[in-house]
Structure 1
Amino acid sequence: MNKILNVKNIEKYYRNKGSLTKAVDNISFEVENGEYIGIMGASGSGKTTLLNCISTIDTITAGNIYIDSNDITKMDEDELSKFRREKLGFIFQDFNLLDTLNAHDNIALALAITGTKSKEIDLRINNIASKLGIKEILNKYPYEMSGGQKQRVACARAIITKPSLILADEPTGALDSKSARMFLENLEVLNEELKATILMVTHDAFTASYCKRILFIKDGKIFNELVRGNDTRKEFFDKIIKVISILGGDNQHVF
């Protein structure tokens, strides 16, 4: 398998009023093409900082991050902007849809920016909308959608450019349990049928149980790793809960 993400000995410091905080402490790991990885940790553990560094939202203090063999730590702003557009897909807790565009146009925007022809855009959108069960809402605006529908549109937007890596930041945080379950099943479709590589930050054990591998972060370091293997989701969920209890974290959902 090809390595999509290679994080090598990265560190991130923040300076605040004369004090120096080490948010990420010498973290290294790899993600293969088609993997579905979760990152978990208590509040302040460094998991969101880690995601921000990988997503190019923040810069690291030391180390290297390679995505598709490209060292993003060596890129300037123009290069990063182009790289984000072409190689990364994003799913956020608060959806980040444009209120003035309907679902179709929210999904299409990323392709339109790259100059993709309208026929190709429509073909791709119809294909992904069918897989995610959102064809009937393509003409609706965000204010006309439920939270679950908005997140599925965001899911389609993230995958439509065929990115190397999809980054999800607490994607079920604003959803009720029924919508969260439906959304997570959609993420499974992206991963298993479309071979999307997904890296997801979550504090929720139920959400994490859909992943194939989980990295637990504590005090800016990798504390533990779980691989689902042949476990059922319930079995994997129980293992996640055990690690969370050691970390002192919390979880919202139960089976």
Structure 2
Amino acid sequence: MKTILKVDNLEKFYKNKGSLTKAVNHISFEVQEGEYLGIMGASGSGKTTLLNCISTVDHATAGHIYVNGKDVTDMKETALARFRREELGFIFQSFNLLDTLTGRDNIALALAILGEHPKKIDGKINKIAQELGIGEILEKYPYEMSGGQQQRVACARAIVTNPSLILADEPTGALDSRSAGMFLDSLGLLNEERHATILMVTHDAFTASHCKRILFMKDGRIFNELVRGADSRREFFDKIMQVVSLLGGDKGHAF
């Protein structure tokens, strides 16, 4: 199986008035093609810093991050900009849709930036819209959509370019339980049918139960790991809650 992401002995330290904070402290792991990996941890555990380093928003203090065999920690800014466009898809808590563009145009923008031929753009948008069940809202503006609909449009924008890795940062944080469930079902469908490789940071056990594997972080290190295997999502949720109770983190939504 192909390794999409390799994090090798990663460190991220912050200095402040003589003190040293080890936000990410000697972390190593791999993500294989088609995996759906969740990263959990209480506030201050380092999970967001880790995601920021992987997404190249922040620079690691030491160690290496490889995406498709490319060492992103050694890339210059011009190469990084191209790498983000071509290799990564982003799903944020706040949707980050452009209010002056329709859903269709928000998705099309990601393809246009890559230089996709205009005649192919509509076909790709229609296909992903059908998969995510958003065909009826493509001509609407974000303010005309529900939060769940906006997040599914954002998901379509992230996946339509066929990125090597999708990074999701608390993607259900601004959604109610029903909308969160619909969005997570859509994300799971993309993982199953498109074999999309997903890395999701969340504090919510219900959200994490949709993943196939979870890394738990504490004090900048990996504290524990769970693999769903043949468990039902309810069984996996219960196991997640056991680890969360040890970590002292948030429980999030319940079944």
Query: TM-score scaled to structure 1, two decimals?
Result: 0.99
Deviation at 1:16, TM superposition (A): 1.5
1:168 correspondence with 2:189: no
Partner of 2:26: 26
State how far apart, in whole Å, the 2-side matches of 1:116 and 1:102 are. Answer: 19
Deviation at 1:234, TM superposition (A): 0.3
Deviation at 1:113, TM superposition (A): 1.2
Partner of 1:13: 13
State how far apart, in whole Å, the 1-side matches of 2:183 and 2:114 are. Answer: 27
Q: Which range is displaced more, 230-239 or 113-122?
A: 113-122
State how far apart, in whole Å, the 1-side matches of 2:212 and 2:151 are. Answer: 21
The letter for the 2-side match of 1:97 is L
1:180-191 correspondence runs (5 A): 180-191=180-191
State how far apart, in whole Å, the 2-side matches of 1:225 and 1:69 are. Answer: 24
1:55-204 correspondence runs (5 A): 55-204=55-204
The letter for the 2-side match of 1:179 is S
Q: Deviations over 1:41-65 (max 9, x none)?
A: 0000000000000000000000000
Partner of 1:48: 48
Q: Which range is displaced more, 9-18 or 84-93?
A: 9-18
State how far apart, in whole Å, the 2-side matches of 1:178 and 1:36 are. Answer: 21
The letter for the 1-side match of 2:154 is A
Q: Which runs of 5+ in 1 are unaligned?
A: none
The letter for the 2-side match of 1:120 is K
1:207 correspondence with 2:178: no
SS in structure 1 at match of 2:39: strand
Deviation at 1:19, TM superposition (A): 1.6
Deviation at 1:17, TM superposition (A): 2.1
Q: Deviations over 1:208-229 (max 9, x none)?
A: 0000000000000000000000
Q: Deviations over 1:77-123 (max 9, x none)?
A: 10000000000000000000011110001001011012111121101
State how far apart, in whole Å, the 2-side matches of 1:35 and 1:119 are. Answer: 32
1:239 correspondence with 2:243: no
Partner of 1:35: 35
Q: Which runs of 5+ in 2 are unaligned?
A: none
SS in structure 1 at match of 2:196: coil
State how far apart, in whole Å, the 2-side matches of 1:18 and 1:107 are. Answer: 46
State how far apart, in whole Å, the 2-side matches of 1:194 and 1:125 are. Answer: 15
The letter for the 2-side match of 1:137 is I
Corresponding pairs, count: 255
State how far apart, in whole Å, the 2-side matches of 1:129 and 1:118 are. Answer: 17
SS in structure 2 at match of 1:110: helix
SS in structure 2 at match of 1:236: helix
Deviation at 1:195, TM superposition (A): 0.6
Q: Deviations over 1:141-164 (max 9, x none)?
A: 000000000000000000011000
SS in structure 2 at match of 1:172: coil
SS in structure 2 at match of 1:115: coil
Deviation at 1:18, TM superposition (A): 2.3
What do you get for the CA RMSD once the two structures are aligned? 0.5
State how far apart, in whole Å, the 2-side matches of 1:129 and 1:17 are. Answer: 50
State how far apart, in whole Å, the 1-side matches of 2:63 and 2:82 are. Answer: 22
